[in-house]
Amino acid sequence: MNNRNQPLNRRAFLKSMALTAGAIGFPTILPSSVLGAGRAVSPSNRITVGCIGVGGRGKAILTGFLVIPEAQVLAVCDPYDDRQQQARKMVDEKYASKDCKTYRDFREVLARRDIDAVAIATQDHWHALIATAAAKAGKHIYCEKPFGVSMRECQAIRDAVRKKKVVFQTGTQQRSDRKFRQACELALNGYLGKIHTVQVAAPGPEYKPSYKGSLEPQPVPKGFDWDMWAGPAPFKPYNLGRVSWPDWYLINDYCTGFIVNWGVHHLDIAAWGCPEIGAASFEVGCQADYRNEGFTDNVNGWNSTFTFASGLKMIYTDSPQQKSGCKFIGDEGWVHVDRPSIVAGPESLLETKLKDSDLHLRQSDNHVLDFIAAIRDRTKPVADVDAGYKASYLGMAADISARLRKKLKWDVKKERFTAAEEANAMLARPLRSPWKL
């Protein structure tokens, strides 16, 4: 796009592009007349996008870009050839052209000088490598959560984005849901009194591996680049059980488990409404049990407590142990928010009208659109890189505590555990050659 540093009034832009946010933070598909698709947008002023990873989640994000006239998707990338072709068909049909190119290797997408931004929706073990490379290439980044499979990977993304000063939107789309914003504004502005406890819970044990076949090596299917899919993870012989859904989420080589991957959403809300959680040192103790069916080996269920010097506590468990979502508890009231609903005690809290002097959080009703707006006006999006970093490492700290079966003290300034070298040794994971951060 041209004139990338010229700000566009964000409110006017969002108003002109207002979309109805769905339950997962993406727009309901609306008629083109509602979207303003008839409005002429010069090709030189469109933000050009490459989508890296176009499976289930990646396809949803791709759809989010396709309904925005100010964006144009030029490339799709995936180790599955059939996913590439399906995604390209979506793009070509939307634009009535054949300009979209397909790739297996994300590096070819990043090498294109005509691409302004990338959307990353690969398996978790790829997030850090692709995101840091994208930042170094000067691309703006929409990246699915979490930031990787280790704390050092999370830090690498944060540091690369800060250094290159690119726009980064974390895929924690609950920040683009009015209910979550309302709950956090009540907590931030003292309407609950002094917050003393935050309860967070996310799904975990209910996810079971779908693959029931042999664990022996299998031929790699035609049209699938297994080596690229595995990437920096330890190389293992191909087996469908390693790549099935939701199985790969349950294998530690590719994902730290739902204690991080699902929990990151509600941990993000906890830190949004109670910033001390992401800004202060803490002690964490976590008990967990682990999966052992087929290839699965990461956390199944968990129960953790984060304790801060101020006396604040965060109780973080899987959702069978607490109600899913995030609950802020103060000495004058409480509010609980999850994707289906928001409730409070007393109920009158939900009728609160913020004062002009209160802290008003960035308003976003559509996560992809907010990313595009942030690029346009050169501001931080609603879920910037620092927010994504904090939400990612909280779950990882709990996981390390559970694996070592001991309480740990996290020093937020040094970004290390105190007097716990065994834990510090788990802050990074080796990458399979030739991959390097």
CA torsion sign for 55, 161, 171, 290 is positive
Supply the pLDDT for residue 2: 43
What pLDDT band is residue 44 in, cutting at 50, 70 and 90? confident
- Other Cβ atoms closer than 10 A to 7: 11
Tell me: pLDDT of 341 over 80: yes
| pLDDT tens for each residue of 1-13 | 544 434 444 444 4
How large a percentage of the chain has pLDDT more than 70?
91
How far, in Å, CA of 366 to CA of 363, rounded?
Answer: 9
Give the C-alpha distances (Å, rounded to integers) separating 53 from 44, 80, 172: 26, 9, 17
Supply the pLDDT for residue 91: 98
* Mean pLDDT, the chain, integer: 92
Supply the pLDDT for residue 39: 53
- Other Cβ atoms closer than 10 A to 393: 28
Region 68-86: mean pLDDT is: 98
Tell me: pLDDT of 183 over 90: yes
How far, in Å, CA of 282 to CA of 310, rounded?
Answer: 10
Tell me: pLDDT of 408 over 50: yes
Tell me, letter by letter, the H, E, C secondary structure of 84-145: HHHHHHHHHHHHCCCCCEEECCHHHHHCCCCCCEEEECCCHHHHHHHHHHHHHCCCEEEECC
Amino acid at 213: G
Region 300-310: mean pLDDT is: 98
Supply the pLDDT for residue 43: 72
CATH superfamily of 10-174: NAD(P)-binding Rossmann-like Domain (3.40.50.720)
Strands 416-417 and 313-318: unpaired
- CB-CB contact of 255 with 261 (8 Å): yes
Helix (H, G, I), strand (E, B), or coil: what is residue 260?
Answer: helix
DSSP 431: -
For the ranges 10-14, 220-224, 296-300, which has the lowest average pLDDT? 10-14
Supply the pLDDT for residue 36: 37
The b/e string for 22-44 (b: 16+ C-beta within 10 A; e otherwise) is: eeebbbeeeeeeebbeeeeeeee
Tokens of 396: 């990882």
Q: Return phi, psi of residue 168, to 5°.
A: -135, 125
First to last CA, the chain: 29
How far, in Å, CA of 308 to CA of 275, rounded?
Answer: 12
What pLDDT band is residue 334 in, cutting at 50, 70 and 90? very high
DSSP 436: -
| pLDDT tens for each residue of 369-405 | 999 999 999 999 999 999 999 999 999 999 999 999 9
How large a percentage of the chain has pLDDT more than 90?
90
| pLDDT tens for each residue of 226-264 | 999 999 999 999 999 999 999 999 999 999 999 999 999
